[in-house]
Structure 1
Amino acid sequence: MIIFLNGELTTSNMMYFANGLYRKVVKPADAAKVLALCTLFNLIGCAAIAWVLSQTLGFNDIDASHYLISAVQGKIDKSYGLVFLDGIVANMLVNITVIGIMFMKDNSAKIPYILGIIFIFAFYGFEHVIANFVTYSLAAFTLPSAIEGFTLSHVLLQWLVAWIGNFVGGGVVMGVGYGFLNKGQDIYTD
């Protein structure tokens, strides 16, 4: 939806702004401001969506055996090092998706491409901070007591570590990487 509705996602902006910084067309203060505001409003939007979902029949009366609870428990139990590494991989996959669809003209081709790559990061439980905003918020609005270690400080630290990992994967590897590969006059489309 973000791609087709031309929305703003922090993790793709990490790639765009890191590339802009590398090419010296964006000021560091402007990049930091946009990423901070985008992260804040992604969090607000995700929390609002999670609250609405928590009021629906599908999430209104869940128990400790629900998939949401076990998925969030699995994420909460990860070490911060693993969250960081999973964050790198997640945002590399997200930005591979973003870059790939730029070369596609047909929307009917974009949909399976997007779903295929995003499925990989979701299936393997890689750490995408914005997706975690939704799942952690939904868990908080439904049955937080069923998750061991689900404290505000732990959640905030997990989000921060995932955000940094996402920045390394999307900003440094993808944004600066593509900036380096495209520093000449020719368009590099490997």
Structure 2
Amino acid sequence: MSLSPKELVDEAIKRGKAKAEYSTLTTAILAIMAGVFIGLAGVAMIRTMGSMPKEWGTLVNLLGALMFPFGLICLLLVGGELVTGNMLAVTMALYAKAITFKQWARNMFLVTIFNFVGAAAVAVFFGYFSNTLQGAFVERTIAVALGRVADAPLQAFLSGIACNILVCTGVYMNMAAKDFIGKIVGTFLPVAGFVIAGYQHVVANMFLIIAGILAGGATWSQFASNMLFVWLGNFVGGGVILAGSYFLAFKVGMKEKAQNTGIIDEEPVAGVLERK
């Protein structure tokens, strides 16, 4: 069993409204945990790729990509606030006028900052000081980090758009599924796809680039530039293209059709939220 596409829009609005109304403490803790899960997934990906023979070529990237999705799966199932996923749900709640722009901006700011705290902590304590990404894995850590910062601003922006179309599709499919296995499978496939394609995810990059800096292969100025353009690209992909498209299709478009035909088959968003 799963939600229909039309029902899914209402579910995303309901969840986005709830997220925007979390206390600062709740938002901070859940965002830190999301950053931790994404960072730990990054560690597992690098360790997987770093132990593979170079002769395996693109198979190395494929195996790393198959390892990474567990981070998003974990945070969606046990609780976590990830800014890229919130770009879908919280922005859709904004489109529905279920929250204010101030609430939207507060959520985006707090979740981004605390995602950084969680991801950076993993890079420092569980990657560098634990020696998990040292020794034989330094070369792969640097290579992955340099791959993130190699893109020019426009390339990073466009890559960020494509990335979050896929990531938010995974989040959306997780919402749609009502059973444990369905949620895992629905999340796994799009996320593995973005990693295989090499698209850029702002929270993953928080971990990967900082790990590369600690390994001596990237700089803080490269990190700052990457964060700006990838965040903007992720927002366009998840908040403008995906959230905007489905909101227009199932809220604006269907409302106009109902008005034109004289048949009202849409409840007001506020009513849906109150009932649920």
Q: TM-score, normalised by structure 2?
A: 0.62
Which position in structure 2 is the counterpart of 1:87? Answer: 160
Cα distance in 2 for residues equivalent to 1:50 and 1:170: 26
Which position in structure 1 is the counterpart of 2:147? Answer: 74
Cα distance in 2 for residues equivalent to 1:131 and 1:163: 11
Relative to structure 1, is the Cα distance of residues 51 and 160 closer, same or farther in structure 2, using a 3 angstrom cutoff? same
Which position in structure 2 is the counterpart of 1:56? Answer: 130
Cα distance in 2 for residues equivalent to 1:13 and 1:116: 19
Which position in structure 1 is the counterpart of 2:89? Answer: 16
Indicate if the aligned counterparts of 1:19 and 1:176 stay in contact, CA closer than 8 A: yes
- Unaligned 5+ residue runs, structure 1? none
Which position in structure 1 is the counterpart of 2:244? Answer: 176
Match of 1:151 among 219, 223, 226: 219
Which position in structure 2 is the counterpart of 1:111? Answer: 184
Match of 2:113 among 40, 43, 47: 40
- Unaligned 5+ residue runs, structure 2? 1-73, 256-265, 268-276
Cα distance in 2 for residues equivalent to 1:178 and 1:67: 39
Cα distance in 1 for residues equivalent to 2:124 and 2:206: 12
After superposition, the C-alpha distances for 1:21-57 in whole angstroms (9 at most, x for unaligned) are 2111211111111100100000001001111222234
Pair 1:138-2:211 in alignment = yes
Indicate if the aligned counterparts of 1:17 and 1:175 stay in contact, CA closer than 8 A: no
**AA of the residue aligned to 2:204:** A
Pair 1:167-2:240 in alignment = no
Instruction: Please report how far the alpha carbon of residue 151 of structure 1 lies from its aligned counterpart in structure 2 after TM superposition.
Output: 2.4
Cα distance in 1 for residues equivalent to 2:240 and 2:233: 10
Instruction: Please report how far the alpha carbon of residue 62 of structure 1 lies from its aligned counterpart in structure 2 after TM superposition.
Output: 4.5
**AA of the residue aligned to 1:37:** L
Aligned length: 180
Cα distance in 2 for residues equivalent to 1:32 and 1:13: 11
Instruction: Please report how far the alpha carbon of residue 59 of structure 1 lies from its aligned counterpart in structure 2 after TM superposition.
Output: 1.3
Report the structure, 1 or 2, having the larger helix content: 2
Give the 4+ runs in structure 1 shifted more than 6 A: none
Give the match's secondary structure for 1:122.
helix
Q: Rg bigger for which structure? A: 2
After superposition, the C-alpha distances for 1:81-137 in whole angstroms (9 at most, x for unaligned) are 110011001111111011112221221232233222211111221110001011112
After superposition, the C-alpha distances for 1:118-171 in whole angstroms (9 at most, x for unaligned) are 111112211100010111122222x12xx3xx3222211111100000000000
Q: TM-score, normalised by structure 1?
A: 0.88
Cα distance in 1 for residues equivalent to 2:173 and 2:137: 40
Which position in structure 1 is the counterpart of 2:45? Answer: none
After superposition, the C-alpha distances for 1:46-79 in whole angstroms (9 at most, x for unaligned) are 0011112222343133566x22211211221111
Cα distance in 2 for residues equivalent to 1:94 and 1:122: 10
Indicate if the aligned counterparts of 2:174 and 2:184 stay in contact, CA closer than 8 A: no
